[in-house]
Structure formats: C-alpha cells, structure tokens
Amino acid sequence: MSVTGSDLLGILAVGIVSVTALIAMLAGVFLKNSARLVMWLGLAGMAGAFAAAWGTYPSAGTAFGGMILAGGYASFFGMLILCAGILTFLLASDYLRKEGVEYPEFYVMVLFAVSGMMLMSAAADLIIVFLGLEIMSVSLYVLAGFMRRREKSIEASLKYFLLGAFATGFLLYGIALIYGTMGTTDLAGIALRFASAPPPSLFWVGAGLLLGGFAFKVGAVPFHMWVPDVYEGSPTPVSGIMSTGGKAAAFAAFLLVFVKSLGGGGAKVQTLLAIFAALSMVTGAVIAIAQKNLKRMLAYSSIAHAGYMLTGLAAANQLGESGVLYYLVAYTFMNIGTFGVISLIEQAEEKRLEFSDYAGLGLRQPFLGIVMSIFLFSLAGIPPLAGFFGKYYVFAAAVDAHMTWLAIVGVLASVVSVYYYLRVVVFMYFHEGPEGAEVISVPLLGSVALLLSAAGVVGIGVFPSSILSLTGWFF
Amino acid sequence: MYPVIGTVLLFPLVGFVVNGLLGSRLKSEKIVGWIGSGAVGLSFLAAVVTLLQMLSVPADLRAQTVNLFTWITAATGTEGSLNVSAALLVDQLSIVMVLVVTGVGFLIHVYSIGYMHVDRGFWRFFSYMNLFIFAMLVLVLADNFLLLFLGWEGVGLCSYLLIGFWYDRKFEKSTTSDAAKKAFIVNRIGDFGFLLGMFLVFTTFGTLKFVSVSRQAMAFAPADPRIFWITLLLFVGATGKSAQIPLHVWLPDAMAGPTPVSALIHAATMVTAGVYMVARTSVLYALSPATMTIVAIVGGATALLAATIGLVQNDIKKVLAYSTISQLGYMFVAVGVGAYAAGMFHLMTHAFFKAVLFLGAGAVIHGMHDEQDIQKMGGLKKYLPTTYWTFLVAALAISGIPPLSGFFSKDEILTKALFNGSTLLWLVGFLTAGLTAFYIFRLFCLIFEGKPRYSAEIHPHEAPPAMRIPLIILAFLSIGGGWVGIPAALGGGNWFGRWLEPVFQPAASVSLLVPDESRVIEHLLMGLTFLLAVGAIFGAYVLYIKREELVKSLRHRFAGPYKVLLNKYYVDEAYDAAVVTPIVKGSQKLLWKWFDVGIVDGAVNGVARLFWLFSNVTRRVQTGVAQSYAVVFMLGILFAIWWLVF
C-alpha cells in the first residue's frame, strides 16, 4: 500500500502538530533557555494545524486505507482540541515561571498530548483509538508529575499512571475480544457485522471492557476515582487540558465506537450508559459540595459534567450526539477558563486554592471577577451562556429517547451544582477580602486566553446554532 | 429587505458596552454623554431610513421578517420542534414603536447630560440607559414570543437597575433599593403569567412566531378556551409591565429613580410594552371576546381609579406616575374594544406629552434643588420660563384640548369605547378625561402660578440648554404629534390608523364586534369631552389660584374620601395585610419555626447527615490508595460485563 497525497492531506493537522512537537523537542535539547521560543513555536504550529483542520473540514472521508478519518468530524475535534492546546499554552507560560519550572519539555509534552488526542478523535479503527489514547495518556502522565519536587504532583502522576495502565489493559483486552469475535478492528467493518447478525456474548464482554476503558478516560462513575487526586495534584494548566482536550478526545472515540459504529449498541448499552451517567451526575454534584479546595471541587464537577455528556450518548439520537459535541465545545471554554483564573490566583506551594482565598476578589480585581463569574455561571448552566444550551440539548435528547428519568436526575444534579459554583461568586463579591490583600497583576497572555475563553462561552451561548450547523451533518 | 434594521439594535448595544466597560476611565462627562446619546441618535436615524424604505413599497409588502441568526434549534421528536430565530419583524406596527423608542429616547438621553451632570454614576447611568434602549428594541422588533420575552425581561432588569440607581439614597420610608425590588418582584408575578401564556402558545400552535401563530389562530373557533387562557395569561403579564390593576403598585414607587428614567422607562416606553404586546397578538385577542372584556374593564377601572388618586398627591412625580397609570388604562380600554390602532395612537402621543411633563418636572426638581413637594413650590413661572411653557403645552395636550395631540388620540379612544364597547365604558373614560384635566392643572397651578411657598434660601433657576432643547422639541411633538391621526369626522384622513390597518386587518376579520358608528354622535362626543376638559381646567384654576381657602374647606368636608385617595385606596396596605404580612408572618411562625426548623432543617440536616454518611463511605473508598481505586474500577467493569452479557 502506498501513501498518497490525499492520505497526507487527511492527517495534515495532526501531522503539523507532531512535527512541531519533534522540532520543539530538538530545540529544547540544543538551545539554552529556550522555553519561550518553544512556546511560540508550538503556538505557531498549532495555529497552522488549526488552519489545516479548518481547510480540510469540508472534505470528509478517510485516509490510509480507512484507518483514519479525515475532514468533517476529525477536523471539528481537531479544532476543538487545538483550541484547548492554544489556551493552555497561553495560560501556562506565566504559571510555570511563577512555580519555577519553566522548561521547554512542558510545551513539548502538551504538543504530544494534543497530537494523541487529535489522533484518537480521528480514529476509524480500534488500533488508532488505542494508539492515540496511549500517546495522549503517556504525555499526560509526564505532565501530571511535571512539578517533580512537589509531593502531590508526583502522587498524581503515579496514580494516574498506575490506574491508567490498568484501564489501558482492559481496553486493549476489550479490543482483542472484539477483534476475535468480529474478525476486524475496522470500525466500519464492525458496524457491518454488528448490523447483519447479533454478535456472540464474548463480543459483549469485549464491549464492556472497552466501555469501561472509555468511561475511565472521561472520568465517569464508577471509573472516576483517579480524577480528584490527579486534578488536584497536577499543575493547574495540565488539569485544564486534561479535563477538556482529554475528555473531548475520549468522548470523540466513545461516540465513534458506540454510537457511529454500533448505532448506540441497543437498549442494553444505552441503559448502562444512562446508569453511569446518572451515577456520575449525582456523585460528582454531591461530593463537590463538601470541597474546600477549588481544584478538587472542579474535579468532582468534571465528573458531573462527564455524566451530563454521557446522557447525550445514552440517548443515542441525533440531538444527543450533536448535543454532546456542543457540550464539549462549551465545556472546553468554560473549564479551561476556570482553571486559568485559578492558575493566576494560585501561589507557589499550592497556596490560594481555597474558596476563602477568593473573598473580595470581584471588587479587588474586576477583570478576573467578571470572567470567573461568566465561567462559573456557564458551568452552573445559567442562560444565555454556553453551559445552559449544552445541558438543554442533552436533557432534551434524553426526553426524546424516553429517558425522562435521566433528564430529571440531571436537572436535579445541576440544581445542586449551582450551590458550589455560585459559592465562589458569593465569596468574590459578597465577602470582604483580607486587609491589604495584594492585587495580582494579570499577565498579558493569560488575559488574552481568559478573554478568548469568555468570548467563546458567551458567543456560542448566544449563537448556539453556529456550532450545531458545524456538527449537524456528522450523524 | 431592510438592511439597516440590524444597526438600529447594534448602536445602543455598542453604546452600552463602550460606556459600561470604559465609562469609568473616560474622565469626561461629555464623551460619555455623547457616546450614550449618539448611539441612540444613530439608531433613530437608521429607523428613519427603514421607515423611508417602508414608505417606498406598497402596503402589502411592508411587513418583512429580517432573520439575524438561528437562536435555538432543538428537534424534540414527537412534539414538533422548537426552532427559535433571532429574527426581527419589521412592519408598520414595530416601526412606529422603534421610532418612538429611539426618538423620544434620544431626546431624553440628551436631557440626561444636563440632568445627571456631576453625578458620580454618570457613565453607569448612560450604559444602563443604552442597555434599556437595546432591550426595548428587542422587545418591539421580536418576531416571536421568546425573543420578545428576552426584551421584556431585559427592560425589567434595566428598570430595576435604574430605579435603584441612587442606591444609597432614602426614598420615602425606606430606600430606593426597596422601591427597585418592589418593581422587580411585582413584575415577577406578571412575568410568570406571561411565561405560562407562552408555554401554552407553544403547546397549542407548536411555534412561537407571531406570524405563524396568527395565521394558525385564524382557523380556531371564536371563544376557544385555549385562546382564552393564552390571552388571559399574556394579559397578566401586561398588567405587571404596564402597571394595571391589580399590579399597578410598583409604578409610583418607581419614581425613586432619576427623573429621566421616569420619563423614558416609566412613562414613554417600557410601561407601554403591555399595550404593544396585546396589539402584536391582536388576532388572539380578537378571538377571545371574554378576554377583551376583561382587558377593557381592567383598563377602564385603572384609568378612573388612578386618576382619582392623582387628584390629591403632593409629590410632583407621584401625580405624574398616577397619571401614567391612568393613561395606560386608556390604552387598554382601546385595545380591549378592538381599537388597536387607537391604542397605539394614544401610546405615541402619550409618549410625547408625558415625556415633556416628566422632563419638565425634572427641570423643576433640578431648579428647586431636589424639592419634589408641590406644596412647597408656587410662582415658578418667572424663574423657569421654558419649562413653564412646555409644561403648559403638555398639560393642555393631556387634557385633550384641540388641536393638541392628546385631543385626537383620546377622542378616538372614547369614540371607539362607545361604538365598540358600552356606554358605561365610555362614561368611565369621559369622567377620567375630566379628572385628568383637573389634576394636571392642579399640578400646573401649584408649581408655576400663585405665590411662592418655598423658603427664601432656595433660588430657583432655569435648566441648562441640554435640558431645555429636548423639552422644546418634545413640546412641539406634543402639539403636532396628533395630526397624523385626525379623524374623518373632522375632515382628516386618519393617516395613522390607515398606516396600521394591514397589521390589524387579520384581527378585524376574525373579530365578532359589530361597530356602530355615527358621525353625529362623534361630533357630540368631541364637544362634550372638550367642554368637560375646559371646565375641569377652569375648576383647577379657581380652586388653586383664586380661592385657595375653598380647597381647605373641601378637604375638611370630604375628609374621609380625601384620606382614602391620599392613601391610594390603601392598596399597598391591603397587599401588606393580605399578602406580604401573611407571607412574612407565615414564614416566620409557620414556615420558619415549624416547617423550616422542624421539617426542612430536619430533612436538610437529615439529608446532610445522609450525604455525610455517603461522603464518609465514599471517602473511605477515596482513601488515596491506588489499589482500592483499582478495586472499584474492577467492580464497575464486572457490572458492565454482567449487564451486557446477561
């Protein structure tokens, strides 16, 4: 099989990111104090990749003999993940300097993680799913432990690695069983076989293992145990990209396998997903209430959000699927934004991460107060912000799929969630700050990232159809 | 079709954003003021361009929908789908509203530059005002219920923000914030009705677009109960926004805001939104005679009762507030008898002369150093000549003296009330017209005529040009604004009515009303109303200038009724006794002590304890030990496999 031009065009975006990562790595090795240079190089690479993804978006197809999706769906996720990557870069540089760990390797690893995520979301074959997942995961293991002198960071890295390896094992075994029963790892081929005859029960064992592996990556209950420890311990911008780009990639593959290929997988799979969704929404929302540390609160909140998105997946109808994609875009902007503000407020040695540290912030630092409020209101699902429409679409999809109970659980969980999101706002605006609290100077790149995220949250909230028209034809 | 209509909305929004974000840094009041006023002025120009375009096409092509973007799309399977566009319905009706809102709005913005001079919240004021204009334009241009509701809530928010604008000032027995909250909470009741009405519209018609709803409704039988409930619930919303009985109590308190706000929001534009909404959904109302009767009765009762309260109030702005409530009642009488065009006509003329009255009152308050009690004024004619003349013009207009604008619009409503409604309804309107002329000239005489009753330390002064010029322009509009609607009985062509005819034609075609018209009676009615107004003005003049002692003896003789009026029929007290106190007491005694502490707290604490237990269980699982995490993972996998295989 020879590689054709259209193959290369199909993977242009992810190719640009990978090549940039390699060049950046070499630059980091051979040039001294090259962190800043590497950052700009990476930004340029990702911007180029974004343009490539945008350019190839209209021509949807496959490349490399049906191994990889090109254009369309893959481009959409590529652009989303690249947004997450770009925002992470903008937020990270000052954070790393503040924490005294500004090394080029950070950017290189983020670039590798981004390329893995993009690959995973473009998979047309289970092998590619696995390949992308591993590239992403290994990079994230390293990033989680990037502050290698900090105990919590090391702990996060180790736990993530151990449990991640565990989950990968199951996932790979699931792929093996599916290959064994269906005779192919090609998603289109599996779809054909699945549609023509009911698969043997061994296939369902494989599907269960695979489903568990994906659920682990998106952080859904009961595969969520790693999430709080890892999000809390990782450097804050890493938690940001883990919870957004990582989740987007995992959901992209989840959708490709279970919805596009297996057509929702039938009532049993849908009910199972609904159960996991309900558990995630409730567990995430309830435990988040008790948290004092903002990063830990956001970790539980991200479990709840995984539950909302799983609701759309469980519904397995057109509204649910485009709803999940919309939700991912919304979630990416609002969550990176929130982690971004946290990373600015945070001080070295994990200080200033508690709710009480935000007392009086809204008046002391109006800019941070306003953008943080936008993100939190959106996370809580208040219209007209993006978070509201995300929830609206997945709940409406659940109702359409005759899972009204799931929508009710979801709505109740989001009512509970309002408490812990708005609690931050209450601290920011209705509590007096300590005497002589210092005013943090907001770095330029950081404020650009926050402005972009806030514009995204407001923009796609006011114009939700802009995203829906991009994704409407995928399903 | 109407390419510039989008910019009508855009300018005020930009003004809001610019002043809102940068206003505090722009040190110059001039820049802030001109950004704010200029945004509305440009918006007005764009509206004029749109009007000219509309005039250049035949009448049946004038109504156009301008789609801005698709707002919400959600296929909800079996029930039909919810598709809402941010689309503007540009037709003869909405363009009238747009012109009034931006035109009067622009003049009031300019006036505010003078009025709000040296206020520390200057930029905040202008950004809120621009936001208000934007929201109001969304309301009147919306092509569907949901977008209208967005504007509806937006103007409510701005009203709240601007009533409580001087949040640190005292207002009557409490604070301006309390007045703002009262307005907001009372409006919540109305808005709840509106929301329910909107839900019912969607379940009945499967769409929220005005045009589609109207088209589908034409096929409904008259007096269909669904239509009745829809219109009634929507009207509940209108009573809140337009301060009609029983939800009128917030508007007098809304006078806590700066006077330009009272002029723009609480007289000329926002409070007329209810009338506009009824006119916009005229087909639905035409199909429900029962609701129409309710609308007309509520309107008539409000007109009369508010006018009587206005007779005895001593706060300059309170008199005007009750006058506004009363005039809004007139408009509801008009739409309640199917005379939508007459209601809109009065809406427009009222916007002109009531704006003058409020702005004039503002000039007086400004010139008297924040004095609002008319008992402490008098003889201001020579100190504030411009204010005096403009106020006189507007007072004559609202009294219905020909050929000023108020005469034509009021006359049309009274005529229609008799022809389409009933004699009683006409009588109510007729009496109100007399009361109106009386209270407005009582106000006028006490402010401008007679001897000064204020302390010698106050030196009244005329307003600056920024305030005077808008007053003069609006005074001219109060004179000539009615000439677009001179009735046929007086040899006019009622151009305004014919302009709106295409919009209300569908409603007229389904209406069951059989108008009974006679030109002879029309002339008679006009003569009667005119005589009554002149008589009332003369009465006010005699009582408050010539024979002041008569007022005292009258007050003495009718001490009982006087007290009732002075206390506004004790409606606030009644609401306190019937609603507020029971809720407060009930929540303290019953809900708080028993239900809250006993049951809710019990339950909450119970739930909290449950969560605590649950939390403890999960915390035990969340040990931080990776092995136990793996165990949970394993259990999850086993469950998934078991579920899928068996």
CA-to-CA separations, A349 to A13, A99, A151, A175, in angstroms, rounded: 37, 8, 10, 42
Q: Answer yes or no: is pLDDT of B565 > 90.
A: no
Mean pLDDT of B627-633: 84
Residue B78's pLDDT is what?
45
Query: Which of B67, B138, B146, B637 is the best substitution to test chain A (most A C-beta atoms within 10 A)?
Result: B637
Among the partner-chain residues A163, A205, A283, the one whose CB lies closest to the CB of B633 is A163
Q: Does B622 touch chain A (CB under 8 A)?
A: yes
Instruction: Say what percent of chain A tops pLDDT 70.
Output: 99
Q: Answer yes or no: is pLDDT of B147 > 70.
A: yes
What tens digit of pLDDT does each residue of A154-163 get? Answer: 989 999 999 9
Domain boundaries, chain A: 268-475
Residue A419's pLDDT is what?
84
Whether this prediction's pTM lies above 0.80 is answered by no
pLDDT-derived band of residue B603, with 50, 70 and 90 as boundaries? low
Q: Answer yes or no: is pLDDT of B589 > 80.
A: no
What tens digit of pLDDT does each residue of B511-524 get? Answer: 766 666 666 677 78
- CA nearest to A226 within chain B: B629
Cα(B393)–Cα(B519) distance, rounded to whole angstroms? 29
Instruction: Determine the distance from the C-alpha atom of residue A333 to the mean position of all C-alpha atoms in its chain, rounded to a whole number.
Output: 10
CB pair distance less than 8 Å for B70 and A170: no
Residue B513's pLDDT is what?
67
Q: Answer yes or no: is pLDDT of B447 > 70.
A: yes
Q: Does B632 touch chain A (CB under 8 A)?
A: yes
Q: Give the CA dihedral B143, B147, B152, B153, nearest 10 degrees.
A: 180
CB pair distance less than 8 Å for B633 and A289: no
Q: Answer yes or no: is pLDDT of B121 > 90.
A: no
Interface ipTM > 0.85:
yes
Cβ B348 vs Cβ B330: under 8 Å: no
Cα(A115)–Cα(B333) distance, rounded to whole angstroms? 68
Query: Which of A194, A465, A470, A473 is the best substitution to test chain B (most B C-beta atoms within 10 A)?
Result: A465
Helix, strand or coil for residue B207? coil
Which chain A residues are within 8 Å of B639, Cβ to Cβ?
222
Instruction: Say what percent of chain B tops pLDDT 70.
Output: 91
Q: Answer yes or no: is pLDDT of B37 > 70.
A: yes
Residues in contact with B386: Cβ distance below 8 Å, sequence separation at least 6, in sequence order: B363, B462, B463, B468, B471, B472
CB pair distance less than 8 Å for A222 and B636: yes
pLDDT-derived band of residue B42, with 50, 70 and 90 as boundaries? very high
What tens digit of pLDDT does each residue of B433-442 get? Answer: 888 988 898 8
CB pair distance less than 8 Å for B74 and A159: no
What tens digit of pLDDT does each residue of B261-278 get? Answer: 988 888 888 899 999 999
CB pair distance less than 8 Å for A166 and B624: no
Mean pLDDT of B135-146: 92
Distance between B646 CA and the closest CA of chain A, angstroms: 9
- CA nearest to B611 within chain A: A286
Instruction: Say what percent of chain B tops pLDDT 90.
Output: 20
- CA nearest to B83 within chain A: A465
Instruction: Say what percent of chain A tops pLDDT 90.
Output: 58
Domain boundaries, chain B: 348-566, 572-645
Packing angle of the helix pair B519-541, B405-416 (nearest 10 deg): 130
Q: Does B69 touch chain A (CB under 8 A)?
A: yes
Residue B594 corresponds to which amino acid? W
Cα(B4)–Cα(B26) distance, rounded to whole angstroms? 29
Among the partner-chain residues A275, A319, A469, the one whose CB lies closest to the CB of B74 is A319
- CA nearest to A468 within chain B: B73
Cα(A144)–Cα(A233) distance, rounded to whole angstroms? 7
Residue B460's pLDDT is what?
82
Q: Token pair for residue B102?
A: 């931006």
Residue B621's pLDDT is what?
59
Residue A179's pLDDT is what?
93
Q: Does B636 touch chain A (CB under 8 A)?
A: yes
Residue A45 or residue A466, greater confidence? A45
What tens digit of pLDDT does each residue of A400-440 get? Answer: 888 999 999 999 898 888 888 988 999 999 888 887 777 88
Helix, strand or coil for residue A462? helix
CB pair distance less than 8 Å for A283 and B618: yes
Cβ A390 vs Cβ A326: under 8 Å: yes
Residue A140's pLDDT is what?
95
Span of A173-187, B69-83, B343-357 with lowest mean pLDDT: B69-83
What tens digit of pLDDT does each residue of A230-259 get? Answer: 999 899 999 999 999 999 999 999 999 998
Residue A374's pLDDT is what?
94
What tens digit of pLDDT does each residue of B466-489 get? Answer: 888 888 998 998 888 888 878 777
What tens digit of pLDDT does each residue of B371-385 get? Answer: 888 888 877 888 888
Average pLDDT, chain B: 84
pLDDT-derived band of residue B593, with 50, 70 and 90 as boundaries? low
